[in-house]
Structure 1
Amino acid sequence: MTDATPPMQHVPARDIPIPAFLSDIARAYLGPGMPSPPYPPIEDKAAWRALVSATDEAVLPFLSGMMAHFQAEVETRDADGVRVYDIQPQGLASDSRGVVLDLHGGGLIMCGGELCRMMGIGSAARLQRRVWAVDYRMPPDHPYPAPLDDCISTYRALLSVVPATDIIVSGGSAGGNLAAALILRARDEGLPLPAGLVLATPEIDLTESGDSFHTNNGVDPGLRSLMPVNLLYADGHDLNHPYLSPLFGDLTKGWPRTILTTGTRDLYLSNTVRMHRALRAAGVSAELHVTEAGPHTGFPGAPEGLAIDEEVRRFIAECLG
């Protein structure tokens, strides 16, 4: 009889030093993370609403401080029933081409509303591009496919404003899941695909099958397994479906040029590396940037994070010609 238990490698408990060669700002990101509250039962929507509200309220002051020095013009649009923040950063060149369709992170349940607006302003400032930040619906009240429906509706609306060759789709973490799923679904629906795709430490495997979900568990200070959230989001659908876990989709047939970013302490390191290898195997032009000691959040504002921002700006400029 074959033993169904997979082989294991025992690793003793040990202290992991923070590299001395990192900038002071980066080193501060690697301190002990805040304890996370337990997830509610999947069926308890009231408890999930309370968790989302409390988490958003805790994040708001931190994000407000980070975004205080960014200046931008923001117009709220209705894109076929979806609220979208159309953002132009201060100092944007009058001849700047292209729009970045920005899909915010937040574990598929958080960072809507005002947080979405502020994160969009941050993206516009970092990328020095006009941004459409999509305030898509989320669980517990609006599980899959509602968030992806909103992203597709917004993409269709954006196509009526600019051609696909002037669009970059970008998403980080949960937004990376939706960004990659958007490409698959847009292609399936016969829509023209964007000029480029930015995936920042994307949550593209909701089954959490990658190696780093084990090796970086407890090492990444800002992220833990989101399996209860993934099940809440999927609402009974198969987590292996490509619209839920784009890593398992068909990455051929016109997939746009892609840039992927992660860090060696990122819980989603495997997600990003596996997606990069899958894209390369499919013949897609894809580049991968891995920051030494980088956690899931990266190092925003640190020299290490600014270097990644520069790579993404260069990538977008090349995609837009």
Structure 2
Amino acid sequence: MPQNLAELQVDRQHSRAEQPEVPNGVTRQPVDADGAPAERICARGATTERQILFLPGGGFTSIAGNGQRRFAAAISQRTKACVLLTHYRLAPEHPFPAGRDDGVTAYRWLARQTKAENLAILGDSAGGNLTLATALKLREDGDDLPASLTATSAPADLALTGGTFRTLKDRDPLLTESHRKLVYDSYTKNGTIDVGDPLMSPLRADLTGLPPTLLMVGTQEVLLGDNLALGDKLRKARVEVDVQAWPGQVHAWSLVLEEAPESTMTNDQIAAHLLRAWASVR
């Protein structure tokens, strides 16, 4: 994870130089989702009758690459739905609410092709935050909501002051204090944007009316406490929610497809959640 702006620029240079790749049997089509650049990733046998809006992670600052493409392909293979990997605008050049607004734009683009009941929104890390924030903005604007939401390793409160930021800081090798400061400063325009805005920090929002939601978090990441609290708040709002705290896992473990069997198991759980939600609206 980049620790400062200089490292972020190097990280972006590497990402731009990366040749886009997807697994065999998977197609990748660059698309313009009403101004939000994206890639439609479809495994063999997948269709656009059901589609998933995928908002990738990267601390609101990093460019999505082949790791996110492989993850999108894995979910498409399991669900037979095409996945729209959205390259939303990045901070610090584009702080809040640019990324969320691009998520809303891409969702509405999909909703003109596929009924909302056949859509889902999925995000990891910062993309998990954007998944929830996008859904909240859609609800606020009166849009038809998707069948389900999935957020893995999501920062639910951008104040970054939850208890496990203290108790697990020595166990989380990825979300270090310097990386968290980079994310906070970038997305909040050096603290000039209020992190209390519920569309920035979903833990502070009224969550009533959101669709069935899956939250996944590792027990070794500093975001554990916020995700558990978010699950409690969703239950109190009478939202159907499944909160999974994965023992021994660190931030964004679901993307480590080749290296960890837990990643494969996680993606099986995500696919099962999506398929159950779609089946329930039939």
Q: Report deviation, 1:150.
A: 1.0
In structure 2, distance between residues paired with 1:147 and 1:59: 19
Match of 2:73 among 101, 113, 124: 124
Instruction: State which of 228, 231, 247 in structure 2 corresponds to 1:276.
Output: 231
Counterpart of 2:92, as a letter, is P
**1:147 equivalent in structure 2:** 99
Q: 2:198 aligns with which of 242, 247, 255?
A: 242
Label 1:53 to 1:71 Cα distance change in 2 as closer, same or farther (>3 A): farther
Contact between 1:106 and 1:174, CA under 8 Å: does it hold in 2? yes
Question: Given the alignment, which residue of 33, 36, 41 partners 1:79?
Answer: 33
Give the whole-Å Cα distance in 2 for the aligned partners of 1:93 and 1:78: 20
Distance in 2, matches of 1:86 and 1:204, equals: 27
CA–CA separation in structure 2 for the residues paired with 1:288 and 1:181: 18
Q: CA deviation at 1:230?
A: 1.5
Q: Which amino acid aligns with 2:45?
A: L
Using the size of structure 1 for normalisation, the TM-score is 0.77
| TM-aligned CA deviation for residue 227 of structure 1 | 3.1
Q: Deviations over 1:232-255 (max 9, x none)?
A: 212221011111111110101x21
Partner letter of residue 176 of structure 1?
G
User: Distance in 2 between the 1:123 and 1:64 partners?
Assistant: 16
What SS does the corresponding residue of 2:92 show, helix, strand or coil? coil
Partner in structure 2 of residue 42 of structure 1: none
Task: Choose from 253, 266, 276 the match for 1:308.
Answer: 266
Alpha-carbon contact 1:84-1:135 (below 8 Å) kept: yes
Contact 1:201 1:268 in 2 (8 A): yes
Q: Distance in 2 between matches of 1:37 and 1:99?
A: 32
SS in 1 for 2:253: coil
SS in 2 for 1:250: coil
Runs of at least 5 residues in structure 2 that lack an aligned partner in the other structure? none
- Give TM-score, length-normalised by structure 2: 0.87
What does residue range 252-267 of structure 1 map to in structure 2 within 5 Å? 252=208, 254-267=209-222
Q: CA deviation at 1:171?
A: 0.6
Unaligned stretches of 5+ in structure 1? Answer: 1-35, 40-47
Describe how 1:1-321 pairs up with structure 2 within 5 A.
38-39=3-4, 48=5, 50-57=6-13, 69=23, 71-89=25-43, 91-93=44-46, 97-112=49-64, 115=65, 119-128=68-77, 129-225=81-177, 226-235=180-189, 236-252=192-208, 254-298=209-253, 300-301=256-257, 302-321=260-279
RMSD: 2.3
Q: 1:168 to 1:38 in 2, by over 3 A?
A: closer
Alignment length (residue pairs) = 269
The alpha-carbon deviation at position 118 of structure 1 amounts to: 5.2
User: Could you tell me whether the CA contact under 8 Å between 1:207 and 1:227 is conserved in 2?
Assistant: no
The residue type paired with residue 119 of structure 1 is Q
Structure 1 residue 59 displacement after superposition:
6.8
* Bigger radius of gyration among the two: 1
Cα gap change, 1:87/1:140 in structure 2, threshold over 3 Å: closer, same or farther? same
Aligned identity (percent) is: 29
Alpha-carbon distance between aligned partners in 1 of 2:49 and 2:225, rounded to the nearest angstrom: 33
Equivalent residue letter for 2:243: L
